[in-house]
Amino acid sequence: MDNGEPEFGWREFTTPPIQHEAAAELSRLSSAHSEAVEDARKHLAELSASRAEAGRLREALKEARRAIGDHHAPSDCYATGPLTGDPFRDLVQCPACSFIAMYDAALAGEKPVGAEVGTPEQRARAAYHGDTVEEIMAEDALRAALSKSGEKPTATRKGGG
Ligand SMILES: [Zn+2]
């Protein structure tokens, strides 16, 4: 050997630099890949947290919209609403109308509140009678409960139903 010692066992060959470079590159790529996977996992977790938050906010908005219910300007408009501190809004703007406008803009493209409630037949009857689908469903549930118990349901609707 170079140092004069006798050679035994495995002979060590010097490897060409390109192999070291390739090994270093492989290890660099592998750790870069692990970092990318870790980043992607983090982003995925953040994304799903934002989705959950957006879902909660959307539910809160829908609940508020449901609380306002049918609101037709100007007959349903509030004379005074909760004060906002904005003199224009507090004086002339109906808070329900303003909320509904914001709600419609924010949830544009989503199905209107109550659209997926009930059967298509119940929705058609609700539209025909000018009732909410919830009222129709409550009435149907009442009728079903009464007919089970053998009682005759009294007509709850003008003109029969
Ligand atoms: Zn209004």
CA–centroid distance, residue 65 to ligand 1 (Å)? 13
User: How far apart, in whole angstroms, are the C-alpha atoms of residue 120 and residue 133?
Assistant: 10
Mean pLDDT for 53-81 is: 87
* Greatest mean pLDDT range, 9-18, 64-73, 146-155: 64-73
Which residues keep their CB under 5 angstroms from ion ligand 1? 73, 77, 94, 96-97
CA–centroid distance, residue 98 to ligand 1 (Å)? 7
Residue 73, phi then psi, degrees to nearest 5: -75, 145
CA–centroid distance, residue 77 to ligand 1 (Å)? 3
Closest CA to 55 of 107, 104, 97, 96: 107
Closest CA to 93 of 117, 113, 73, 116: 73
User: How far apart, in whole angstroms, are the C-alpha atoms of residue 126 and residue 137?
Assistant: 9
User: How far apart, in whole angstroms, are the C-alpha atoms of residue 7 and residue 10?
Assistant: 8
Q: Render the burial of 84-96: b for 16+ CB within 10 Å, e for the rest.
A: eeeeeeeeebbbb
8 has pLDDT over 70: no
Quick one: pLDDT at residue 161?
A: 43
